[in-house]
């Protein structure tokens, strides 16, 4: 196919885009690594064009439903509504279209062929798959999905992996090349809108970097010193406005004066976002015309939804500011996103989730701190986290430069900001994790031997093998040295130096023993002299044997002895290397094998054929943190006689994790029937945990009741206002809890072999809870 790439676009293409397009035209897969906003999407759109011109299909995968919805809008606008479909876990339309947008999980599930039908039907006429935001492979919980998708994708499908800049893009490319097929890397550091970094302190803004790239001397002198503070000093300082943190009013006034708005103000807690927005109220951000336009747009976006019209943040929104974090009501977040994209909001106070979320570029980004709270306490930002947030600054076609402002804190030094601003991105790591679902789905179509080959093709194993390469080279060097040392040094008859030395050592030990025995009075030990004579006889025998050996008097005895010790050390080193290599290279397969043994012991795998039984095929259709636990509960009969409300409540408990709820929730009452069921669920969980421990498996068995009372209320028909008044949780958390309940109820309803009555009640659960604020916009 002889095409002119430029003819498909109304703007001149950059060199890296043309390079990537050339590889696609050559039939190769491609990895495109470039900064946010550099135009990676052009490569994806060209892959779509090639598929359409060939009368083939193209899948476009994204890591988030919100991104899928946005990409659906973009692709429909470019290629027409009839050519683009959407497929998520709960929404499907026009799925036979030439272009289908989906989350990466949906694509992975297609490859398993359990939920969406036969794999061959799923992938019929698919020429290419775009893996957008491929750097999500680093995500602790979900990164394994990208690896599985690449491993299991048919080799005749072109992969277009789009990633932010990562340190080891060449490793990713080599792995895809070896695992999937011919793949080329195209990388670029070019940003069409360059970034400038600043440091804000003492109500002033300074360039962070010097022209040479190091820290600005003025910044270093004023903000480069730090000291250790006690926990009390830190708490007191954080509670005193303006001491530990800069007042947002000062920051916004400066940005406004320097024409650096709109801005995304990144903070690392929901509470921090809310507080900073409240402190900013009254700061003039909008012109009269902008305020009028904003009011019209807000009225349109909130029409018919009292939860939006009466939202407590509405007064701030009308002043041109908003909050954006995971705890916000999704429909309200949608309003914020639309208004910001229209340029009607001048500042959004957001957690870092926005940096990895939908397309909301700004003229500037404010990074409030260089540290964040983590499970292990406070830690410094990684280079990738800093770059991800910074990348939101600068709008292509609108801004000549993007501004990144780091705020001074008494607990941090400016040098750290300069280091992060000039740091290279972090490398991709592997999150590949064998699960019960993976075992069952692979064994449905592959033998154990074939499964082992697939498991050993993971990016995790690729990285391990690369790390082991120096050891392998060292082993080869040891073997070569052993070969050289194999030639004897003996000038005459070849002797056994090891045996010769053992005889001499035995004789020396005998002499030492006699000296010690001679110190003992003869009257204290009967037959002492006889024992000494026996030892003397043995000494004479050892010496006679040693003296008769070829090694006795040999002129090369000393170098020969050293050679023997060297051989012994080399052989030990080779054994150590072999043990480590065996341990590291079999890590993922050991987990896979252990999971298969657990499944066999519980009747989910046939012990002879290693194929899934009926129970195993039911489990293969489920997605969760521990699929076996979910199906053990499903098949226990505990759900069979529950009414709709009780069923919704129990299902919600099954999808929650401990440690994420309010402690007071444990005291809130739920129905007695649900309480009894949950007691039995605890028994099932403890039994499975013991089985896993016996097989050295540590897959979490999560369930928690902190949202249960509110799911009961919602399933009983409560209004959203009633839920808000009763619950201490953020709106977004409640919506997410209900949607996760909805997702598992749908999964259970699709499981083949359930009683029709239970399936009917599961469908009733969906109708009862999928309403109002829980409904997802498409």
What pLDDT is recorded for position 232? Answer: 62
**Residue 554 in this model has a pLDDT that exceeds 80:** no
Q: Would you report the helix, strand and coil content of the chain in percent, each value rounded to 5?
A: 55, 10, 35
Report whether pLDDT(679) > 50: yes
Q: What is the pLDDT of residue 666?
A: 46
- Give the CA dihedral 240, 245, 249, 253, nearest 10 degrees: 150
Which pLDDT belongs to residue 506?
85
Q: What is the 3-state secondary structure (H, E, C) of 247-303?
A: CHHHHHHHHHHCCCCCEEEECCCHHHHHHHHHHHCCCCCCCHHHHHHHHHHHHHHHC
Mean pLDDT of 176-189: 95
Average pLDDT score over residue span 164-173 = 93
Separation between Cα atoms, residue 71 and residue 86, nearest integer Å: 10
pLDDT at 212: 84
Question: 206-252, pLDDT tens digit by residue?
Answer: 999 998 888 999 999 988 775 555 566 556 655 544 444 588 999 99
| pLDDT tens-digit map of 85-105 | 998 766 778 889 999 999 999
Q: For residue 375, is pLDDT > 90?
A: no
3-state secondary structure at position 164: coil
**pLDDT number for residue 242:** 41
pLDDT band at 504 (very low <50, low <70, confident <90, very high): confident
Residue 764: per-residue pLDDT: 97
Instruction: List 35's β-bridge partners, or say none.
Output: none
The CA-atom distances, in angstroms, between 360 and each of 267, 467, 531, 694 are 16, 39, 93, 49
pLDDT, residue 356, reads 64
Instruction: Give Cα separations from 75 to 42, 72, 554 (angstroms).
Output: 12, 5, 86
pLDDT at 67: 86
Mean pLDDT of 445-455: 94
Output 121 or 324, whichever has higher pLDDT: 324
Distances 370 to 379, 382, 406, 614 between C-alpha atoms, Å: 9, 9, 8, 52
Q: Given this model, what pLDDT does residue 235 score?
A: 60
Model confidence over 751-773: pLDDT tens digits?
Answer: 988 999 999 999 999 999 999 99
By CB atoms closer than 10 A (0-12, 13-18, 19+), residue 338 is middle
Considering the chain, what is the average pLDDT of its residues?
89
Return the structure tokens found at 113: 């062929």
Residue 45 has pLDDT above 50, yes or no: yes
Q: Is the pLDDT confidence value at 664 over 70? A: no
Strand partners, 196: 403
| pLDDT reading at 354 higher than 80 | no
Which pair of structure tokens corresponds to residue 371? 């540290």
Residues of the chain with pLDDT > 70, as a percent, come to: 93
How confident is the model at residue 22, as a pLDDT? Answer: 95
Query: What's the pLDDT tens digit per position in 570-614?
Result: 888 988 888 888 888 889 999 999 999 999 999 999 999 999 999
pLDDT of residue 169: 95
Alpha helices in 374-522 (DSSP H): 383-390, 414-422, 436-445, 448-455, 459-485, 497-518
Q: HEC string of 683-752?
A: HHHHHHHHHHHHCCCCCCCCCCCCCHHHHHHHHCCCCHHHHHHHCCCCHHHHHHHHHHHHHHHHHHHHCC
Count of residues making up the chain = 778
The mean-pLDDT minimum among 22-31, 109-118, 404-413, 433-442 falls in: 109-118
Q: CB–CB of 721/771 below 8 Å?
A: no
List the one residue out of 333, 335, 338, 398 whose CA is nearest residue 364.
Answer: 398
Mean of pLDDT values over 259-278: 94
Task: Name the residue among 621, 631, 762, 753 with its Cα closest to residue 115.
Answer: 621
The reported pTM is 0.85
Output the six-digit token pair for 111. Answer: 């490859």
Q: What is the pLDDT of residue 117?
A: 61
């Amino acid at each position: 196919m002889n095409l002119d790439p430029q003819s498909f676009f109304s703007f001149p293409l950059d060199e890296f885009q043309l390079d990537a397009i050339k590889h696609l035209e050559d039939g190769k897969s491609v990895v495109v690594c470039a900064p946010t906003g550099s135009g990676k999407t052009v490569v994806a759109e060209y892959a779509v064009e090639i598929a359409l011109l060939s009368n083939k299909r193209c899948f476009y995968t994204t890591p988030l439903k919100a991104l899928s919805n946005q990409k659906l809008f973009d692709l429909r606008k470019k290629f027409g509504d009839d050519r683009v479909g959407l497929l998520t876990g709960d929404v499907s339309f026009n799925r036979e279209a030439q272009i289908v947008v989906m989350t990466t999980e949906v694509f992975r599930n297609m490859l398993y062929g359990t939920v969406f039908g036969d794999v061959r039907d799923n992938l019929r006429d698919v020429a290419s798959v775009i893996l957008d935001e491929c750097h999500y492979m680093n995500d602790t919980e979900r990164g394994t999905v990208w690896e599985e998708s690449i491993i299991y994708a048919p080799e005749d499908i072109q992969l277009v992996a789009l990633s932010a800049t990562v340190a080891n893009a060449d490793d990713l490319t080599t792995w895809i090349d070896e695992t999937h097929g011919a793949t080329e890397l195209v990388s670029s550091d070019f940003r069409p809108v360059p970034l400038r970094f600043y440091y804000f302190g003492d109500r002033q803004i300074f360039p962070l970097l010097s022209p040479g790239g190091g820290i600005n001397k003025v910044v270093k002198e004023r903000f480069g010193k730090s000291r250790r503070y006690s926990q009390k000093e830190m708490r007191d300082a954080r509670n005193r406005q303006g001491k530990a943190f800069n007042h947002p009013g000062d920051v916004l006034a400066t940005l406004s004066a320097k024409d650096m708005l709109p801005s995304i103000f990144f903070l690392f807690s929901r509470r921090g976002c809310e507080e900073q927005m409240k402190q900013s109220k009254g700061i003039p951000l909008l012109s009269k015309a902008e305020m009028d336009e904003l009011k019209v747009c807000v009225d349109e976006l909130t029409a018919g939804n009292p939860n939006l019209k009466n939202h407590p943040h509405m007064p701030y929104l009308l002043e041109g500011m908003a909050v954006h974090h995971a705890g916000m009501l999704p429909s309200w977040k949608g309003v914020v996103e639309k208004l910001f994209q229209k340029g009607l909001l001048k500042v959004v106070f957001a957690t870092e989730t926005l940096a990895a979320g939908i397309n909301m570029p700004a003229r500037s980004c404010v990074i409030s701190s260089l540290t964040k709270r983590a499970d292990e306490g406070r830690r410094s930002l990684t280079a990738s986290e800093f770059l991800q947030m910074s990348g939101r600054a600068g709008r292509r076609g609108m801004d000549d430069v993007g501004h990144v402002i780091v705020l001074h804190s008494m607990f941090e030094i400016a040098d750290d900001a300069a280091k992060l601003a000039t740091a290279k991105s972090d490398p991709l790591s592997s999150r590949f994790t064998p699960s019960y679902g993976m075992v069952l789905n692979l064994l449905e179509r592959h033998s154990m031997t074939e499964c082992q080959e697939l498991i050993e093709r993971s990016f995790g194993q690729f990285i391990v093998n690369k790390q082991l390469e120096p050891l392998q080279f060292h082993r080869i060097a040891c073997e070569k040295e052993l070969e050289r040392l194999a030639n004897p040094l003996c000038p005459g008859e070849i002797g056994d130096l090891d045996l010769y030395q053992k005889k001499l050592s035995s004789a020396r030990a005998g002499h030492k023993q006699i000296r010690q025995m001679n110190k003992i009075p003869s009257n204290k030990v009967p037959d002492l002299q006889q024992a000494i004579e026996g030892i003397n006889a043995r000494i004479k025998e050892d010496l006679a044997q040693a003296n008769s050996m070829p090694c006795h008097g040999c002129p090369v005895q000393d170098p020969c002895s050293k050679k023997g010790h060297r051989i012994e050390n080399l052989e030990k080193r080779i054994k150590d290397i072999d043990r480590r290599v065996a341990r590291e290279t079999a890590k993922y397969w050991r987990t896979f094998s252990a999971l298969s043994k657990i499944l066999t012991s519980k009747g989910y795998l046939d012990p002879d054929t290693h194929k899934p039984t009926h129970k195993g095929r039911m489990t293969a259709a489920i997605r969760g943190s521990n699929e076996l636990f979910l199906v053990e509960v499903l098949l226990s009969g505990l759900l069979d006689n529950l009414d709709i409300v009780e069923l919704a409540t129990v299902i919600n408990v099954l999808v929650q994790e401990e440690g994420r709820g309010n402690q007071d929730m444990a005291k809130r009452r739920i129905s007695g029937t649900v309480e009894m069921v949950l007691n039995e669920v605890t028994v099932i969980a403890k039994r499975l945990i013991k089985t896993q421990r016996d097989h050295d498996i540590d897959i979490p068995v999560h369930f928690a009741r902190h949202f249960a009372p509110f799911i009961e209320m919602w399933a009983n028909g409560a209004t959203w206002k009633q839920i808000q008044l009763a619950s201490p949780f953020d709106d977004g958390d409640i919506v997410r809890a209900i949607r996760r309940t909805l997702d598992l109820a749908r999964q259970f309803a699709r499981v083949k072999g359930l009683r029709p009555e239970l399936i009917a009640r599961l469908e009733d659960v969906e109708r009862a809870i999928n309403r109002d604020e829980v409904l997802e916009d498409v």
